[in-house]
Chains A and B, each alone.
Chain A
Amino acid sequence: MIIAANKIDVPGAMEKFERIVKEFPHLTIIPALQSQSLR
């Protein structure tokens, strides 16, 4: 499963992202900006 880690640009999100990358090494985790959301 591919994880799109959305809202990486929100303060505090980068710490959560780094923890998740360590916790789920078997998954492909891609950061995404909140501003890239479809509108």
Chain B
Amino acid sequence: MEIANYPFTTIKPNSGVGYVKVECAEKFFKVKCNPRTGYCMNGTRFVPVQMIDVAGLVPDAHLGKGRGNQFLDDLRQADALIHVVDISGSLNAHGEQVETGSYDPAKDIRFLEVEIDMWYLGIIKKNWDKFARTIQQEKQDIVKALAAQLSGLKVTEDMVKDVIERMKLDKGAVAYWTDQNLLDMAVEFRKRTKP
């Protein structure tokens, strides 16, 4: 695995396993723990968590800037995202070295949220017009259909139902949902599926 301080050192995702340390229940039950995953040492459980290090993004990656957002597909199945930010302000938005303290790391946090939201929106909008027309004409259940459409992002029926209700969208008029509705929905799904 290549490690260096120039932009896009990581191109292909690097996968590995990290461990979360928690106190084991073996002391309480007075038994010896023998976990199926991870391991237990001196009363401490090491719970395995699969970690995937993916390529970085630059602002407007969803418009094709930098290397685009094609790498985001590597994140589809992730349960959570960890954004590593250089808090000292010595790397700019393009991952280039700048004078320490001269870059505002808050910009990185803002732009990554936007890029992930736009990625979700792109997935929702793919074939949306045909999808929405079919749902409306055939009076299909939008909750089930949309959850099935977005299952790859770990969006569930409960999430879709809740988001539609909170946004007060008309389930019988899916074809009339606006672009802003779809963007708001993308943001909600992103917050819930990639906390």
Contacts and interface: CB of A to CB of B under 8 A. Distances in A.
Contacts of A32: 84
Interface string A1-14: 11111111011110
Given A1-B194, A2-B81, A2-B82, A16 B87 contact: yes
Contact of B86 (A7, A38, A39): A7
B76 to A, nearest CB: 16
Nearest to A13: B88
Interface residues of A, number: 24
Given A1-B112, A1-B195, A24-B106, 14 more contacts: A1-B194, A2-B82, A2-B195, A3-B109, A5-B85, A5-B105, A6-B84, A6-B86, A6-B87, A20-B106, A23-B106, A24-B109, A31-B87, A39-B3
B105 A16 contact: yes
Interface string A21-37: 00110010001101000
Contact of A4 (B84, B101, B106, B112): B84
Interface string B74-90: 00000011111111111
Contacts of A2: 80-83, 195
The list of the 8 closest CB pairs from A to B, nearest first, reads A10-B88, A5-B87, A7-B88, A13-B88, A4-B84, A12-B101, A2-B82, A13-B87
27 contacts: A1-B82, A1-B112, A1-B194, A2-B83, A2-B195, A3-B82, A4-B83, A4-B84, A4-B85, A6-B85, A6-B86, A6-B87, A7-B88, A10-B87, A10-B90, A12-B88, A12-B100, A12-B101, A13-B87, A13-B88, A13-B89, A16-B87, A16-B105, A20-B105, A20-B106, A27-B109, A31-B87
Interface residues of B, number: 23
Nearest to A38: B3
A28 to B, nearest CB: 8
B83 A1 contact: yes
Interface of A: 1-8, 10-13, 16-17, 19-20, 23-24, 27, 31-32, 34, 38-39
Select the residue from B85, B87, B195 with max chain A CB neighbours within 10 A.
Answer: B87
